[in-house]
Amino acid sequence: MGDTKAFAELEKREWSEPTVAVAYASGFSKASDMVVPHLVAGVDAGPDTDALDLCCGHGNVSAGLVAAGARVTGLDFSSAMLELAREAVPEAYFVSGDAMRLSFSEASFDAVTIGFGMPHVPDPPRVLAEARRVLRPGGRIAFSTWCGPDVHGAFGYVFGAIGRHGSPDIILPPGPGANAYADPDIAYPVLERSGFGEFRCEVVSSSWQVDDPGLAFDFFRDGTARGGALLRPQPEAHARAIRAAVVERVLENHGEGPEWTVPMPAVVISARAV
């Protein structure tokens, strides 16, 4: 993959901003919240399950695990996100840490969830290897990833518009593919090498319910790391053109409103520690 230091710095910088964390939790996560039950089911969480929620963000997956009866530890590198998580899910225990270098002992957990965290770590295979290390034999992992621009939905609308109308001077540093681990052909071999088997893949028809056809642009700009790093620095004329292109796609594909269901489909992949 090459040097991902600049990518890691971008992720930490963007997610450390309280405004980004709050915008994700209040806007963007309306789609990710719809995926939570599928992650909880993917690890068979229930009473007496010791669950580790990696890249826990503002705690929505942790809340789902707690509701299922699990004992939950959430981990994230963003202090801004952890502050939101502790307030939202007081029943869980939250710690600051690096998903690629876990401080937990081997075989500490029955379940590991990763809610949309895979694109935000410099070395996803290392995260999966660490997850296997801290899982007990027979424990389960489940992670979610957004479907890419080739799948009909908001991700393609926004990043397609950036490609057509964004300033060519604003680019992202090298990092893992934002949607790579939605592809079983990529995810399954890495899971297998990490010590997992019994793979499952599920497509979740998550979406945003909005009363403004441009909100997909706003959600990416205000509440994400990669999208925000591409959209927030755009000169005003470019930003207007990108948002207008997103609005055009929403109206073209989802009608004239006054409300819209904007698809933001995701994939949940799960496996068992062998």
In a domain, 233, yes or no: no
Residue 165 in domain: no
CATH code of the domain containing 180 = 3.40.50.150
pLDDT 10s digits, 11-48? 999 999 999 999 999 999 999 999 999 999 999 999 99
Point out the residues of the chain with pLDDT beneath 70.
Answer: 1-2
Given this model, what pLDDT does residue 212 score?
98
Give residue 214's pLDDT.
98
Q: Is residue 70 part of a domain?
A: yes
Q: Where are the alpha helices (DSSP H) in 144-235?
A: 154-165, 184-194, 215-223, 226-231
Asked whether residue 246 is domain-assigned, the answer is no
pTM: 0.96
According to the model, what pLDDT value does residue 116 have? 98
55 within a domain of the structure (yes/no)? yes
Q: How many helices (H) and strands (E) does the chain have?
A: 12, 9
Amino acid 139: pLDDT: 98
Question: Quick check: bond before 122 cis, omega within 30?
Answer: no
Residue 230 lies in a domain: no
Q: Is 20 inside a domain boundary? A: yes
pLDDT of residue 2: 63
* Cα-based torsion angle of the residue sequence 240, 242, 248, 249 in order, rounded to the nearest 10 degrees: -160
Q: How many domains does the chain have?
A: 1
Q: Helix or strand or coil: residue 37?
A: helix
Q: What are phi and psi of 71, to 5 degrees?
A: -90, 120
Provide the residue range defining the domain that includes 69.
5-149+175-207+264-273
